[in-house]
Amino acid sequence: MADIETTDATGTDTQDVFRVARAWLAQDPDAETRAELEALIVSAEGGSDEALAELHDRFDTRLAFGTAGLRGRIEAGSARMNRVLVSQAAAGLAAYLLEREQKPSVVIGYDGRKNSAVFARDTAEIMAGAGVRAVLLPRLLPTPVLAFAVRHLDVSAGVMVTASHNPPADNGYKVYLGGEHEGSQIVSPSDAEIAAHITRVAAEQNVLELPRSDTFETAGEDLLDAYVAETAKVMTAKPVDLNVVYTAMHGVGWETFSRVAEAAGLATITPVEEQQHPDAAFPTVSFPNPEEPGALDLAYAKAREVGAELIVANDPDADRLSIAIPDPSNDEGYRQLSGNEVGWLLGWRAAVIHAEQSAPGGALACSIVSSPALAAVAREYDLDFVETLTGFKWVSRVPNLLFGYEEALGYLVNPTTVRDKDGISAATDFLSMVCFLREQGVTVERALEAFAEKFGYFASDQLSLRVTDLGDIAKIMAHLRAEPLQQLGGVKVNEIDDLIDGFGSLPATDALRFVLADGSRVMARPSGTEPKIKFYLDVQRPNEKRDEASVVLAAIKAELAEIAARVTA
C-alpha cells in the first residue's frame, strides 16, 4: 500500500505540504482536480508564494463534519470537496456502521450540483464493497426525499450529496441515521465517531485501493410515489383555485413539488421557466439562496405577468421554503415573508389543528435564533415549547413534535414522515393554510395582523456580516465576552447567557444570548456553513406599540454593526 499518511497533515512545513499534495495527487481518481492540483504544485515549486499559500490552505486542515456534515468548494485537497475526500468519508461511514450492526444498510441521494451524481456513485460502490447494503436513489431528487427514504426503507443511515443553498462552486455530504435516530441528521457523539473513522481511513488507506462493488441497488419509482402520496396528505384544507408562481432556483424541486401539488388538488402552479430545471451553474442568480437579494427577481417578474397571489420558492435541494405575497407598496409588487413570519403562521396552524383533534400533549420547537413568537403560541394552546441549537438535526429530535422551524427558511410540518426540514411539505402546508383562509375571506397579510393582535407584535431582524478573514469572527465573539454589553439600542441588558459550555438543556455551542430589560433578545453566533457572524434580533411589544418595536430594533442593529466594525478595524 502506498505511504499516504500525510494526507491528514496539519503541519505548515513547506516540504511537508509538497509531500502531502503529491501523495493526494497520486490517489485522486478525478482528471479535473488532478490536473488542477498538479498545476498548483508546479507553480508553487516554481516559486509562487500565492500558489504555496493556496496549497497550505487546502492541505493544512481537513474538511470536518459541521452543522450540515461536509460542505465546501469543489477543488483538490483535504480542506475541499472532491472524490478523494468523499471516498474517505464513505469508507469511514461504512466502518462506523459495520462496527454497530452485522448487516447495516444505507440509502444515498444526490441533487443537481456539479459532481453530485459522481460523489453518490462513489459512495454506493464503496459502501457495497465494504459489505454495507447500499441503495442509490434513481436520479437526482430533493433532500427531503432522501430523508424520507431513510425511514421508509428502514435503513441504518442515509447520505445526501448536496450543498443546499451554498454558492455554485460548492458541494456537500449530509449524513442521516436510522433506527433510534428515526432518520435525523447526525449529532454528537455520532459525528465525532464517524469523523474518527474517516481520519483513520485517510491516514492508512489509498482511496484507489478501497474495495468497490457495483452490486448496490437502485431504488424504484415507488419510493418517490410514496413520498408524493404522504406529502400530499399535508393538504388538509379543501383545495381552491390558487394562482401560484413557483421557482426551483435551478434546483431539483420542480418535478417533486409539481407532483405533490397535483396530488393535493392544487391545479394552477406556474413555474419560473428560466429556473425550472436543475443547472449546476445557477446562471440567473449570483447566490442560489432565496434569502439573498435578487434571488427572487425572476419570480417577481413572472408573478406580475400572471397576476399571482402567491410566490413559492425552494432552494436548490428543496429543503427550504420562501414565500412572497402581493404588496402594492413595494416596487416589485410583492413582499417576501421572513422565515419567522412563515414559522409563526405554520406553527399557529399546527396548534389549532392539534386542538381541534383534541389530541393530548405535543410540542412546538424552534432554534435559539428564531423568534420567541412560537413560545407565545405554545402557551396559548397548552403545548410544550422547546428551543434547540441551530440546525434541524436538533429540531427534529424534540419529543412529541408537532411543528418545528428555524428562521433560515426551514420548516418541519410532518415529523411522522420526514425528520428534517422539508421545503416541499412546508409549501404544501402553507398552500393548505391559504386555501383555508380564502374560504374565510382572509388574506395572508390579514392573518399576520391577526397573529399580532392575538399574541403581540414581534419585530425580528438579522445582521449578517460576511468576513474574508475568519479571525475577525473570533475577534468579535472574544470582544463581546471580554467587554459585556451594558445596554443595546438604549435598553439595559439584564442578562447575558454564554452557551460556549452549554446552557440549561442546550448542548455547548459558540453563541451568546443577550436578554434586555424590555424582553428583547439578541443572539450572536458564527455561521456553521459560511464565513459569517450573525446577530439575530427580536423585539416584542403589544400590537398597539408596534412602531416602538421597529425603532428599538433598528437602534440595536446599528449599534451592533458599529461594534463589529470597530473591533475588526
| DSSP class of 186 | P
Cα gap 350→95, rounded to integer Å: 40
Which residues of 503-550 form beta strands (DSSP E)?
Answer: 512-516, 521-526, 532-541
Question: Nearest CA to 404 among 343, 322, 340, 448?
Answer: 343
Distances (CA, A) of 314 to 252, 423, 437, 476, 551: 9, 6, 22, 33, 32
Measured CA to CA, the distance from residue 406 to residue 409 in angstroms comes to: 6
DSSP letter at 185 equals E
Residue 215 DSSP code? -
Angle separating helix axes 471-482 and 546-568, nearest 10 degrees: 110
Query: Cα–Cα distance between 542 and 480 in angstroms, integer?
Result: 30
Nine cell digits for residue 168: 455554485
Helices (H) and strands (E) in the chain, counts: 17, 22
Instruction: Report which of 518, 486, 513, 515 is spatially closest to residue 502, judged by C-alpha positions.
Output: 513
Question: What is the phi/psi pair of residue 318, to 5°?
Answer: 65, 30
Cα 347 from Cα 364, distance rounded (Å): 7
Cα–Cα dist 541/372, whole Å = 12
> What is the amino acid identity at position 52?
L
For residue 189, say if its preceding peptide bond is cis, omega within 30 degrees of 0: yes
Active-site choice (87, 105, 116, 164): 164
Spatial distance between the Cα atoms of 121 and 324, rounded to a whole number of angstroms? 37
Rounded CA separation 63/182 (Å): 26
Return the SS3 of 527: coil
H/E/C letters for each residue in 416-427? Answer: CCCCCCCHHHHH
The reply to whether 520 belongs to the active site is no
Cα–Cα distance list, 243 to 239, 270, 291, 302 (Å): 12, 8, 23, 11
Type of residue at 492: K
As a whole number of angstroms, the distance between CA 468 and CA 185 comes to 29
Nearest to 174 by CA among 203, 150, 206: 150
Distance CA 23, CA 7 (A): 7
- Helix 423-439 and helix 339-356: axis angle, to 10°? 70
Instruction: Supply the residues annotated as catalytic.
Output: 164
